[in-house]
Amino acid sequence: MTNWAGNITFRAGRADRPSSLEELRGLVAQSGKVRVLGSGHSFNHIADSPGALVSLDGLPPEIDIDSASAAVRVAASVRYGELGRRLHEKGYALPNLASLPHISVAGSCATGTHGSGDGNGGLATSVRAVEMVTAEGDLVTLSRDADGDRFGGAVVSLGALGAVVALTLDLLPAFDVRQRVYEGLPAEVLDDRFDAVMSAAYSVSLFTDWRTSRVNQVWVKERLAPTFGGIDDAEPDGFFGAAPADGPRHPVPGVSPVHCTTQMGTPGPWFERLPHFRPDFTPSSGEELQAEYMVPRRHAAEAFRALGAIGDRIAPVLQISEIRSIAADDLWLSPSQGRDTVAFHFTWVKDPAAVTPVLTAIEERLAPFGARPHWGKLFTLPPDVLRTRYERMDDFAALARHYDPRGVFANEYVERYVFGRR
Ligand SMILES: Cc1cc2nc3c(=O)[nH]c(=O)nc-3n(C[C@H](O)[C@H](O)[C@H](O)COP(=O)(O)OP(=O)(O)OC[C@H]3O[C@@H](n4cnc5c(N)ncnc54)[C@H](O)[C@@H]3O)c2cc1C
């Protein structure tokens, strides 16, 4: 069995698919080692298991909206695409989505998955409560209201605390978004106007191949109702010197825009505009590896220049890079914990041997800024260095020992990056 990208073959000796909560509880209590697999969209061994690899796809795909408290309780394995559709039908929305709707809610929150937007936290910041089956088969609920600080450790969990069976998420009233793509943003604009560019709309993404002095594309997503600023409609001709695209675009050169959500300024529901890719098409290029590094927002322009300086090493193995912004949060292992963040994402060619040394070069360049790698993507940062980039890492290790003293949910990845064992 492999992950979505096909670059990881899971080493788990057993694959299980319980069809009820009781079955899952029994399975966990009897297992020496368990990990839960979401939709398998991570690019490293984070989900792998030395024992059983459990899919929760067989549990009922519950989506229960509670209008009185503006919240939804959603089963762990539900994908954002389905959740978005159901919420919109009932007049609700989530504040933001990742680039693709194909990913499971629990798997995404467990790795700190995010979209873009100065005012938008990562997807896990919507989580109000976590229900999980812990190592002895107990069902434990942690909530923002009842569990205070400890709750901040339980959301971006890397799958190390237990098998999450449901999450409760905050809801907003449904809103519309319109999306426009601009081409050829002069890179020097980012030197002194990075903040102006990224704050020009609800969600802004920059796509660059690091080959020229221009950013290839800018994806601008405006929230229409209720209004949230947005770019000035009186200036539809350009965006900080970038020209409006004359038709739909895909961010990866040469890939058909049919995979992408509607552009050209046509308004539509939030769940069909905030992701870049449509649920019924392959997201991104499909043949790829990914990495992403989260840097404090105040260093954005400097980090952009530092990466530009090694553009000649990045470009030959790159399909496209995306730069996004994320609001600070207080979730212990969130890559945006404690700092407004700019994220530098890389969609690579599918050649690990060629890509790995470039990751190390990027990590060296971004080291002065304390860059945090995406938990679900490729990185080469040594565990002892990575651990120092999270103030609450020791607290998280203690929380994992509290809920899982036998290390049932620990795999090699968790041993290395959380517990610092070799
Ligand atoms: C094409 C593509 C585009 C992407 N775009 C973005 C993007 O825009 N932004 C971004 O931040 N990331 C992005 N990612 C990365 C992706 O969001 C993360 O890898 C995310 O974790 C995927 O969710 P998943 O359900 O596939 O998780 P998996 O890879 O299946 O699992 C991830 C982790 O979550 C744990 N887990 C899953 N379900 C449970 C559960 N029920 N209980 C306990 N632990 C669980 C697993 O054990 C594992 O540790 C992208 C990935 C791909 C392939």
DSSP string, 2-69: B-TTSS-B---SEEE--SSHHHHHHHHHH-SSEEEE-S---SSGGG--SSEEEE-TTS---EEEETTT
How far CA 140 is from CA of 32, 167, 202, in Å, comes to 20, 12, 36
Which of 74, 83, 118 lies closest to 101, judged by CA? Answer: 83
Q: Is 370 left (phi over 0), alpha (psi -120 to 50) or beta?
A: left
- Cα of 110 vs centre of ligand 1, distance in Å, is 7
Taking residue 279's Cβ as centre, other Cβ atoms within 10 Å add up to: 18
Residue 39: CB within 6 Å of ligand 1?
A: yes
Residue 103: CB within 6 Å of ligand 1?
A: yes
Rounded Cα gap, residues 386 and 394, in angstroms: 12
What spatial distance separates the first Cα and last Cα of the chain, rounded to whole Å? Answer: 25
pTM equals 0.97
Q: Whose alpha carbon is nearest atom 32 of ligand 1?
A: 107
- Cα of 306 vs centre of ligand 1, distance in Å, is 28
- Cα of 226 vs centre of ligand 1, distance in Å, is 30
Hey, what are 287's tokens? 């043949």
Q: Say which residue the tokens 């799958």 belong to.
A: 159
pLDDT tens track, the chain, 422 positions: 999 999 999 999 999 999 999 999 999 999 899 999 999 999 999 999 999 999 999 999 999 999 999 999 999 999 999 999 999 999 999 999 999 999 999 999 999 999 999 999 999 999 999 999 999 999 999 999 999 999 999 999 999 999 999 999 999 999 999 999 999 999 999 999 999 999 999 999 999 999 999 999 999 999 996 555 555 554 567 899 999 999 999 999 999 999 999 999 999 999 999 999 999 888 988 899 999 999 999 999 999 999 999 999 999 999 999 999 999 999 999 999 999 999 999 999 999 999 999 999 999 999 999 999 999 999 999 999 999 999 999 999 999 999 999 999 999 999 999 999 87
Rounded Cα gap, residues 37 and 48, in angstroms: 8
Residue 18: CB within 6 Å of ligand 1?
A: no
Residue 284: CB within 6 Å of ligand 1?
A: yes
- Cα of 64 vs centre of ligand 1, distance in Å, is 22
- Cα of 232 vs centre of ligand 1, distance in Å, is 35
Name the residue of 25, 62, 104 whose CB sits within 8 Å of the most ligand 1 atoms, as the mutation to test its pocket. 104
- Cα of 333 vs centre of ligand 1, distance in Å, is 15
Hey, what are 343's tokens? 């994220």
